[in-house]
Amino acid sequence: MTSVNKGINRRDFLKVTALAGGGMLLSFSWLTGCKSTPEVVSNLPKEWFELNSYIKIGDNGLVTLFSPNPEFGQNIKTSLPMLLAEELDVDWKNVVVEQADFSIKRFERQFTGGSTSIQMAWEPLRTAGATARQMLIQAAAQTWQVPASEITTKDGVLHHQKSSKEAGYGEMASQAAKLEVPKEVSLKKAADFKIIGKSKRNVEGFNIVTGKPLFSLDYKHEGMLIAMIVHPPAFGQKIKSVEDSAAKSMPGIKDVFTIKLFDEEFERQAFDITSFNQLAVVVGNTTWEVMQTKKALKVEWENTKESNFVINNFGGGKKTVTVPAGLESTAQHKKLMAEMAEKPGTILRKDGDPAGAFKKAAKVIERTYSAPFLAHNTMEPVNCFAHVTADKAEIYGPIQIPEFVVAGLSTRLGLPKEKIHIRLARMGGGFGQRSYGHHLLEAAIISQKMKAPVKLVYTREDDMTYGIYRPTYMATYKAGLDEKGNLIAYSIKAGGIPEGPLGWAQNRFPAGAVDNYLAEEWVLNSNITMGTFRAPRSNFLGGAEQSFLDEVAELAGKDPIDFRLELFDRAKNKPVGKENNYDPDRYAGVLKLVRDKSDWKQTKKNVHRGVSAYFCHNTYVAEVIDLSMQENKPVVEKVYAAVDCGVVVNPDAAINMGQGGIIDGIGNALYGGMTFQDGVPQKNNFDKYRLIRHSEAPKAIEIHFVKSEENPTGLGEPLFPPIFAALANALYKATGKREYDQPFLQVNEQPV
């Protein structure tokens, strides 16, 4: 057991109360003292560590965890209670998890994103379980009049061997709730884990496979109306007028009107992003009737002027965001990005004398990579239920960060925050899209106007053309080698619309492994809205960087894995700079593991191999793809992945997340992309926006985890970025053609 002095007090365990039925309720600050990283801080609120959650032990011994984090398939509703049950020493079958509602009184920072749920909860949640166990032991010691040191626990039962006394946790829960919270508890060593590290079935699994209602799209309420929105067809346009007389007379229609989401003076929070501030709305009895009425609605559009709004980014300072006028096109974007790539950028890091080193290099290689806007395309389109009355608002919808929606709801509805009740629905996919709560605001405004419960439903076309896309990026890499093929100079100049991809990545590999290094960034503004997308920024850089390094290794005449390992050895033994934010040993470790598991240097007839390795969300991943060409089309035969994410809490769930990230990455690399013509998205449904098909998924995926006792890190996102490059490098081996622009396959097929 490891002794942990958390200084636990009434700030950490806010309440320890006896329940009316004789149980025990613990309220605790479960993220106090969590460790963070520059990447986490750049994507999350600084106050993240104040999140609260609750443990409830019933008099029958049943343990309930109210999970504050929204669930969208990453399986935290199973993995988080595993942490609790491990240290509480309770039988897993007696653990129940319930989704907590959003509550500004009970919780702070109810957030799902950035692959941080397990990482942030690892020590605090285990400490909470251990503390509850210690209090139950103390209660038993007082009741039996024996030393606490003589009491042991197993599977939710307290034992005193000398007196042969035993009691279930439920019998001691009420007494335990009256005790002072201990200031020091002991946590188990990894070798003693009985639940952590063992696969547990998804607690929602039965409901999922039997089709039980889980999502807000399934939700029904007495007297509920259906609402749909009509937004401008082009970014850079707004509503000029609405002719609604014919629409209002159609069967089942209750009303047609326009709404405005934010006033110009409203100070937005980080995720108060909306593509179109004014929308036309159709409200009726049924989805079909509303959909037909949308078609009959006549709306005249006009171009917008340049505008500004103020945003407060995680409390890190206010900034004014300018939304330019104009109708933008993909061809225009490419031209402007190419021009910016030729100009000096903002220097983010510089080591040594890159310009001088390039002049002295025996060989120099320079390549430019690009990636398009991407739509999220979650399985469940945007939707939300709202029932707003004069004194309160009831909302049920899919949202990753409810904390940052409440201010807008409060201001817009004229209700105090404590009168806004948000129930957190299980999400049918998130990938960053559900970080933005415009749909909750829209539904609430519509309900308030209609004085009735309303379910807002986006069509797939609404969802795909509304915006908040992954930005479009471009990066130019340059490398210089000496006569022996050693890397002596390296530079990256990267940018995007309307965000650059570097972020904290200027301090990632190969920074620290080369004497002369330069990282520059540029940005172009746009009225096309962008937002977080699975593995933000890394989803482009991982593919571009690792594709480039493969080509550099070829120029150096070295095996691509050996070439990378040489660089990691340099970063370990003679590091350059002091801001390198990766561990060369762990990075090299996953490369060696995937090399061994894939038998890297074996040759198979008509099978071509590509490799990639990337570090993001505090996790190290290396991947190898085996690819064949059949009828001039790539077929992924097998993917090998090696992952160092510290302790793996739930192995089956971890493998599932990894498989999903790999398949998602292959699909986006081959097919993903949103294009624009005069502000109009050119793809509005799956007949044009190509996704990977079941038959195109890898025939086999092997995921190997590094055995580790390090605290767990991210897993939902880190396997996504490197697969782009592994695929590109395998395609080169198969076709002799390097891939520089995503998507790799330019197709416009009708799905079969």
204, 237, 254: which is the final residue of a domain?
A: 204
Return the CATH number at 192.
3.30.365.10
Q: What is the pLDDT of residues 553-594, one digit of tens each?
A: 999 999 999 999 999 999 999 999 988 999 999 999 999 999
Q: What is the mean pLDDT of the chain?
A: 90
Same domain, 57 and 94: yes
The dihedrals phi and psi of 156, each to the nearest 5 degrees, come to: 80, 15
State the distance between the two ends of the chain, measured CA to CA, in whole angstroms.
57
Same domain, 146 and 223: no
Same domain, 191 and 271: no
The dihedrals phi and psi of 320, each to the nearest 5 degrees, come to: -95, 125
Q: What is the pLDDT of residues 256-270, one digit of tens each?
A: 999 999 988 888 888
Could you tell me which of 302, 301, 298, 295 has the C-alpha nearest to residue 244? 298
Mean pLDDT of 411-420: 94
Residue 527: pLDDT over 80: yes
Residue 48: pLDDT over 60: no
pLDDT of residue 40: 37
Considering only 108-117, 455-464, 541-550, 670-679, which range has the smallest mean pLDDT?
A: 108-117
Q: Does the residue 532 lie in any domain?
A: yes
**Helix (H), strand (E) at residue 361:** none
Distance CA(401)–CA(314), nearest Å, equals: 12
Q: Does the residue 692 lie in any domain?
A: yes
Q: Does the residue 332 lie in any domain?
A: no
Q: What is the total count of domains within the chain?
A: 3
Q: Does the residue 642 lie in any domain?
A: yes
Q: What is the pLDDT of residues 240-289, one digit of tens each?
A: 999 999 999 999 999 999 999 998 888 888 888 889 999 999 999 999 99
CB 655 within 8 A of CB 716: no
> Secondary structure of 662-720 in the HEC alphabet?
HHHHHHHHHHCCECEECCEECCCCCCCCCCCCHHHCCCCEEEEECCCCCCCCCCCCCCH
Mean pLDDT of 3-7: 42
pLDDT of residue 29: 60
**Percentage of the residues of the chain whose pLDDT score is greater than 70:** 92
Residue 607 identity: V
β-bridge mates for residue 476, sequence order: 368, 493
pLDDT of residue 283: 98
Residue 20: pLDDT over 70: no
Distance CA(640)–CA(724), nearest Å, equals: 14
More confident residue, 644 or 309: 644
CA distances from 73 to 82, 334, 394, 661 (A): 16, 35, 24, 12
Same domain, 11 and 100: yes
Same domain, 549 and 628: yes
Q: What is the pLDDT of residues 720-734, one digit of tens each?
A: 999 999 999 999 999
Contacts 24+ apart (CB under 8 A), 229-232: 229/279, 229/280, 229/281, 229/442, 229/456, 229/458, 229/462, 230/279, 230/280, 230/281, 230/282, 230/294, 230/297, 230/299, 231/275, 231/276, 231/279, 231/280, 231/462, 231/465, 231/466, 232/276, 232/301
pLDDT of residue 45: 30
Same domain, 398 and 545: no
Residue 706: pLDDT over 60: yes
Q: Does the residue 339 lie in any domain?
A: no
Q: Does the residue 301 lie in any domain?
A: yes
Structural domain containing residue 502: 344-374+469-735
CB 176 within 8 A of CB 134: no
More confident residue, 634 or 318: 634
204, 224, 246: which is the final residue of a domain?
A: 204
Could you tell me which of 588, 578, 577 has the C-alpha nearest to residue 517? 577
> Given pLDDT bands bounded at 50, 70 and 90, which one contains residue 625?
very high
Judge if pTM exceeds 0.85.
yes
Q: Does the residue 698 lie in any domain?
A: yes
Distance CA(423)–CA(110), nearest Å, equals: 12
Same domain, 540 and 642: yes
Positive or negative, the CA dihedral 627, 628, 633, 636 is negative
More confident residue, 36 or 681: 681
> Given pLDDT bands bounded at 50, 70 and 90, which one contains residue 316?
low
Mean pLDDT of 60-66: 82
Residue 353: pLDDT over 80: yes
Same domain, 131 and 76: yes
Q: Does the residue 511 lie in any domain?
A: yes
Mean pLDDT of 169-187: 90
Same domain, 441 and 506: no
Same domain, 578 and 698: yes
178, 204, 230: which is the final residue of a domain?
A: 204
Residue 217: pLDDT over 90: yes
Residue 752: pLDDT over 80: no
CB 35 within 8 A of CB 50: no
> Given pLDDT bands bounded at 50, 70 and 90, which one contains residue 81?
confident
Mean pLDDT of 181-210: 91
Same domain, 369 and 386: no
In terms of average pLDDT, the best of 54-58, 106-110, 394-398, 404-408 is: 394-398
Mean pLDDT of 342-368: 97
Same domain, 392 and 513: no
